[in-house]
């Protein structure tokens, strides 16, 4: 019963948010993000539109996705990223059943070998 309720909720979420890109504003955001080529401008834009906590959370989610792809355990991921095991489980689900956004981002990270500070 719980299993079917969970997938019913996920399916509802996909249907509800699957149309997010039909919005002019959402499409505008995606275009702006892809057009910003300068890291300083991107950081400034993200800081203007998101809170520090949101930026840290999204960064942690991306790190968790990388760790999941590397076969790390939920407990290790939670300890390193400070994300709850429930959030890690959601990320795992999106890696397997989502729109492949995490997978593509991880490919970019691995192919570019970003020179990251701190």
pTM of the full structure = 0.78
Kindly give the parts of the chain with pLDDT less than 50.
Answer: 1, 118
- Residue ranges of domains in the chain: 20-49, 52-118
| Contacts with 103 (C-beta within 8 Å, 6 or more apart), sequence order | 69, 95
- The confidence score (pLDDT) of residue 11 equals 55
SS3 109: helix
- The confidence score (pLDDT) of residue 6 equals 53
Residue 59 has φ and ψ, to the nearest 5°, of: -60, -40
């Amino acid at each position: 019963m719980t299993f079917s309720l969970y997938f019913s909720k996920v399916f509802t979420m996909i249907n509800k948010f699957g149309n997010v890109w039909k919005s002019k504003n959402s499409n505008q955001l995606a275009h702006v993000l892809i057009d910003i080529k300068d890291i300083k401008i991107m950081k400034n834009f993200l800081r203007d539109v998101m809170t520090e906590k949101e930026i840290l959370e999204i960064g942690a989610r991306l790190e968790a996705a990388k760790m999941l792809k590397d076969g790390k355990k939920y407990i290790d991921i939670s300890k390193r990223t400070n994300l709850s095991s429930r959030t890690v489980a959601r990320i795992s689900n999106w890696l397997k059943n989502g729109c492949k956004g995490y997978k593509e981002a991880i490919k970019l990270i691995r192919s570019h070998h970003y020179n990251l500070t701190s």
